Amino acid sequence: MSHAVLLCSSSVATAFIASLLQGIIMVGVIVGSKKTGINPDNVATPIAASFGDLITLAILAWISQGLYKCLDTYPYVSSLVCAFFMSLTPLWIVISSKHPASRTLLYSGWEPVITAMVISSIGGLILDKTVSDPNLAGIVVYTPVINGIGGNLVAIQSSRFSTHLHFHCAPGEVPDEAKGCYYPCRTFFGTGANHRSAQVLLLLVVPGHLIFLYTIHLMKSGHTTLTPIFMSVYLAAALLQVLLLLCISDWMVHSMWRSGKDPDSFSIPYLTALGDLLGTALLALSFHFLWLIGDQDSDVGD
């Protein structure tokens, strides 16, 4: 029971502190981007995602370690920490309800977050199943890379779509090129304002992953022998992941806008969760394929 309380208090405290710091960082990034003439859509979302993971993990490790040390001598500390942060919930609800934008999120913001958690959990099950095979344990090193790059790239495109709709279209109305049935070529070769950015983001996949592959190689982690077969299969999986995500982003953002939902609040959680699911699934298939065709380094499970 004490460990359950420790887990609960660590999670609640981490969520509170990380959200506060993340909000401060985001405001600073957006204000700084506007002052320097940089489009916030291109930098704010990736920075939020990257710093969000880093800050959350660091704070969670720090808080859980501190509470664990107090578990034997002061077992009531975990309960007090959890009760303190939970008692602040009504205060934040009152403060949030005073602003129209945040008031809407109090009622509708739970759906995408909870659904995204479920989708990401499916990816976690795939990863756990793959890691249980000693011959494929090396996938652990590459999962954060493929999921992080794919999620950040599609988040940029989603933000650009959403900003364009907010500036040029009334809620419920979409541009002419987005009317009718969706087809994938529209995302990359259409007449819309963001097809060029989709092409650029897709082109960034290969050089971005090559940098991380080389970094992992230098760190002597995972599949340290970068064979041509391994790199080809891995890059093909990464390209397919981002290609699918960009197409889904185009369809999802315009569909949500057409139905009266704000894509800024709904699309990014769904897309990043789908990025985790697709990245993990494609990476697992890639490692299975490499093992079947004989690309079986002795260090693949290190």
Length of the chain: 302
Q: Which two tokens stand for residue 301?
A: 């499970």
Select, from the ranges 99-103, 180-184, 240-244, the one with the highest average predicted confidence (pLDDT): 240-244
d(CA 103, CA 62): 32
Q: What is the pLDDT of residue 151?
A: 86
Compare 101 and 67 and report the one with higher pLDDT: 67
On whether both 41 and 147 belong to a single domain, the answer is no
Own/partner contacts of 16-19, CB < 8 Å, gap of 24 or more, are 16/85, 16/88, 17/59, 17/63, 18/52, 18/55, 18/56, 18/59
Inform me whether the pLDDT recorded for 133 exceeds 80: no
Number of domains comprising the chain:
2
| Whether residue 129 is found in the same domain as residue 12 | no
Cβ-Cβ contacts under 8 Å for 166 (sequence gap 6 or more): none
- Please check whether residue 95 lies inside any domain of the structure: no
Same domain, 66 and 112: no
CA-closest candidate to residue 238, choices 205, 213, 197, 271 = 205
Q: What residues have CB less than 8 Å from 146, skipping those under 6 apart?
A: 209, 234, 237, 238, 241, 279, 280, 282, 283
Q: 200 and 53 in one domain?
A: no
Cα(171)–Cα(166) distance, integer angstroms = 8
Instruction: Look at residue 99 and tell me if it is in a domain.
Output: no
- Whether 101 is in a domain gets the answer no
Q: Which domain holds residue 276?
A: 108-302
Q: Which residue has the higher pLDDT, 238 or 219?
A: 238
In a domain, 94, yes or no: no
Q: What is the pLDDT of residues 245-254, one digit of tens each?
A: 999 998 888 8
pLDDT computed for residue 239 by the predictor: 93
Most confident of 122-131, 186-195, 226-235: 226-235
Q: Are 44 and 23 in contact (CB under 8 A)?
A: no
Q: What is the mean pLDDT of residues 34-51?
A: 76
Average per-residue pLDDT for the chain: 81
pLDDT bin (cut points 50, 70, 90) of residue 205 is very high
- Residue 92 domain-assigned? no
pLDDT over 80 at 241, yes or no: yes
Is the domain of 168 the same as that of 251?
yes
Instruction: Examine the domain organization and report whether 195 and 288 are in the same domain.
Output: yes
- Cα-Cα-Cα-Cα dihedral sign, residues 58, 62, 64, 65: positive
Q: Which residue has the higher pLDDT, 192 or 211?
A: 211
List the structure tokens of 18. Answer: 């990380």
pLDDT of residue 1: 67
- Domain shared by 175 and 272, yes or no: yes
**Conformation bin of residue 222: beta by default, left when phi > 0, alpha when psi is -120 to 50:** left
Q: Is the separation of the CB atoms in 246 and 101 below 8 Å?
A: no
Same domain flag for 297 and 208: yes
Give the pLDDT of residue 301.
41
One domain for residues 257 and 114: yes
For the cut 50, the answer to whether the pLDDT of residue 38 exceeds it is yes
The reply to whether 136 and 78 lie within a common domain is no
- Residue 216 DSSP label: H
Q: Which of these, 260, 281, 277, 285, lies nearest to 154 by C-alpha position?
A: 277
User: Residue 295 in 3-state DSSP?
Assistant: coil
Give the pLDDT confidence score for residue 302 in this predicted structure: 44
Residue 300 has pLDDT above 60, yes or no: no
Q: How many CB atoms lie within 10 A of CB 4?
A: 9
CATH number at residue 259: 1.10.357.20
Task: Examine the domain organization and report whether 225 and 301 are in the same domain.
Answer: yes
pLDDT at res. 168: 78
Contact 151, 276 (CB under 8 A): yes
Rounded (10°) angle between helices 228-258 and 205-218: 130
Binning pLDDT at 50, 70 and 90, where does residue 11 land? confident
Alpha-carbon gap, residue 79 to 10, rounded angstroms: 10
- Burial of residue 250, with CB atoms counted within 10 A of its CB: 0-12 exposed, 13-18 middle, 19 or more buried: buried
Percent pLDDT > 90 in the chain is 7
In a domain, 158, yes or no: yes
pLDDT at 48: 73
Q: Are residues 142 and 243 in the same domain?
A: yes
The answer as to whether 93 is a domain residue is: no
